Amino acid sequence: MKKSKFCILFVLFVIAADIAAVDAQIVLKGKVTTREEEPVAFAAVSLRGMRDTTRLVETAVTDMQGNYAFGKHREGKYLLTIQSLGFRTLNDTVHIRRSSLGNTYEMRKDYLLEEEATAIDDVVVVGTNVAHYLDRTVYRVTNADRRTAVTGLDLTNKVPQVTLDRINETVSSSDGEVTILVNGIAASAQELKTISPEEVGQIEYYDLPPIRYGGGNAVLNIVTKEVRDGFYGGIDLKHAVPVRWLNDSFYLRYNRGRSQLTFRYYASWHKSDAQFVDDEYRYALNGTDYAQYLHTSGGYRSFYNDFNLKYTNQLQDKYVFQATFYPSLRNNENHYDSQIEFLEGATGMQRYGNYRTESKIFNPTLDLYFWRQLGRKQELIMAITGNYFDSGLDTRSSEYDSADDRPVFEDFLTVDGRKYSAIGQALYIKNFEKVAFSVGERFSYESNIAHTASWLSGDRQERTTRMNNYLAAEVSGKIKTRFSYRFSLGVIASRTVTAGNDSWQWVFAPNVIAGYQISSSFIVKAGFSQANTSPSLGMLDDRIAMITQNIVSRGNPSLKNGFRNSAFIGTGYTNKWLNINVTCLYGYAKNPINYYYRQDGARYEYMPVNDRSSETCGINYALQLTPFENDILTIKLQGGVYYTSLNSGVLGRVGYLRIPLSYYIQFAWKNLSAFYQGNIVTGNMVPPMIVYSDLGSGIGIIYKYRNFAFSLSCANFLIRPESRSHTIGGSAVWRKSTGSQRDSYNRVMLGVSYNFGRGRVYNEAERHISNRDEDSGL
């Protein structure tokens, strides 16, 4: 009996001791930062026992804010080690124990890492805020970046391949068109102005986007940090003096729990009455030589309204649902008066003419997006975007004999168009240990109904329909630690239906890229892809409009789709003061679409036609220099050398060499920054024309004070830019044009912005590119 009592007491004592030991277990957490108080993301934090430091107790990785946390561990002494590329390894003896104050079982230890050059595989890598991957480059945003940035849009200038035009607030890329995302969700340059620089953690630039982003344009993804619930809003005003020019926006976000509601309004109004153009036409028609010289003056007015209402509901790592409604209204007017010298053979005539056009486009859009985590390492993405365009175009042009005011010709063109489109995508993603697999379908349907009336073709109604379906599978992964690859296999089915044409096209669309990571700061990659090319709906509409006497413009319902093959080899390298990306490329296109002057009886028609083929080879580069600490001075250069060869059924074989160059210089100190941006004049072959870029020169200064920011900038600083173009030799019609907008010389712009409150920006799961339809059908 005594033995039984003793056993029971012993068991109860052991259980109580175990409970006390468990109860004494402590959670260790903290934050890892640099001397500049920047969080160190993705640092490896390990915990080992002091009695045997070879025994690993637990490991953790810091998040985007530099936070780490271990599970519960017994009280005692441990060796804590923190390692991150480009930083000196930190070792610390930690005595995990309960606080003498309170009854908490949590212990906090924050650490500071020192930057240091580190030797890896005989390659010296200096700590930077840039990481290179197979399909993207990731840029960590620092406090030095945030100090001089007014909005998230300003931070895009950190990416060497991206050009931020601070004068017009637009974003472009050295790799072509760029799609903007926020946390993987479709956005725009104007939406980036609604994000505070303090909210941005890093920027991802995809020069080779995967199929989840559409696999087309380059992608710029802004990744935000999580902030607390509440309101966040602001107003941004930018006006020019004395020119009539403004870009204004207002935005407001409200966050609570799983939901976020965002409203944004953007307005742009530009007006000018100082447009001047000199045009020259020369051609032969039915054995007679013609020449026409036009001296034109006039102006334009444009007004753009954009509303955006967005609702997001999400549960972290479980699902995301987003609905966006954004109607926009665009109104453009142009008016020109001309003095004309017309020569028919040896006979000359003095004329005058006028030209008036007005267009209105109402475009409401509804975008629905859903992401779901399916079990472990599986994702499902579904999205659909619906667009409606209500378009109107009214054009009047005429010429008169100066001697007796007799009309030589009078023409009008009115278009009343309605376009419907739906663009959708479904994608399934499965992540294995070393390989990721994706399969999905992307479809689009467009239907354009246009009622046209003109002097040349009378009244008629035409309908153009186009359908595209893209089915693809993608595999990506790594071999060991340095070699990465991605391979996608897809097929594109395209059907185009016009008044006189019903055609199908099937295009095999493979895409393969591979890269070798020489170090974390140096990568070499190469790839090949094939895709189809399609005409716009406006090209397919057979409407006719007068350009000048004997020359008209018209569409071409018989246009065919084409395809384009592209191959490249490139490299990216980064150190503390230099970031450079260089790519050698080659492209081949079959059935490219270009415009030409073609004779039809007693007149010339300016219309799109399919050429045989074209080839482009060249090299492009994007370079960024930051030679001083804290990025006091930044120099960006973008450019390249390209040669294009065209095999044309109209012009024969023609070639053109293009050498573009743009540059950007910024000085930043505390809350003050100044910039200068510009470019050299270079030509581009856009058959049948050689079009020269305008000479650029913009200068400005920005100052931040608390929640306010003030800017003073000047467009076309100390220059008088001209737009110039001329036809390619061999064109049936010779045309030369020189234009200028004289009230844009030394145009001064004043800007002020104010941000208020705090709002929560969720770390949402990444999604595909924007399905926005930009083709109104006109």
pLDDT, tens digit, 9 for 90 and up, residues 633-684: 999 999 999 999 999 999 999 999 999 999 999 999 888 999 999 999 999 9
Which one, of 711, 712, 705, lies nearest residue 755 by Cα?
705
Q: Are 561 and 533 in contact (CB under 8 A)?
A: yes
Counts for the chain of helices (H) and strands (E), in that order: 5, 51
Q: Which amino acid appears at position 239 of this protein? A: H
- Name the least confident of 82-86, 658-662, 764-768: 764-768
pLDDT at 253: 86
User: According to the 3-state scheme, what is the secondary structure of 688-717?
Assistant: CEEEECCCEEEEEEEEEECCEEEEEEEECC
Domains defined along the chain, listed by start:
2-116 (2.60.40.1120), 130-230 (2.170.130.10), 231-757 (2.40.170.20)
Alpha carbon distance 120, 552 (integer Å)? 66
- CB within 8 Å of 88: residues ≥ 6 apart: 113, 114, 115, 116
What six digits make up the tokens of 147? 């100090």
Q: Which range is least confidently modeled, 317-331, 332-346, 446-460, 600-614?
A: 446-460
Residue found by looking up tokens 């020489």 in the block = 518
**Start-end of H helices in 343-459:** none
Contact 599, 732 (CB under 8 A): yes
In contact, 417 and 391? CB cutoff 8 Å: yes
3-state secondary structure of 721: coil
User: If pLDDT is split at 50, 70 and 90, which confidence band does 336 have?
Assistant: very high
Residue, of 582 and 177, whose pLDDT is higher: 582
**Whether the predicted pLDDT of 117 surpasses 80:** no
Does residue 451 carry a pLDDT above 80? yes
The predicted model gives 274-292 an average pLDDT of 94
pLDDT tens across 686-736, in order?
999 999 999 999 999 999 998 899 999 999 999 988 999 999 999 999 999
Average pLDDT of span 207-231:
80
CB neighbour burial string for 695-731, b if at least 16 within 10 angstroms, e if fewer: ebbbbbebbbeeeebebebbbbbeeebeebbbbbeeb
Evaluate whether 192 touches 152 at the Cβ level (below 8 Å). yes
Unique residue bearing structure tokens 């259980």: 15
pLDDT band of residue 226 (cuts 50, 70, 90) is low
Q: Is the pLDDT of residue 243 over 90?
A: no
Distance, in Å, from the CA atom of 266 to the CA atom of 195, rounded to the nearest integer, reads 15
CA distance 143 to 156: 15
Helix (H) or strand (E) holding 747: strand 747-757
The predicted structure's pLDDT at residue 99: 65
Report d(CA 25, CA 73) in Å as an integer. Answer: 5
Instruction: Report strand pairing: 593-600 vs 551-554.
Output: unpaired
Query: What's the pTM?
Result: 0.78
The residue that leads in pLDDT, 169 or 418, is 418
769 pLDDT higher than 50? no
More confidently predicted of 37 and 638: 638
pLDDT for 89? 83
pLDDT at 272 (0 to 100): 92
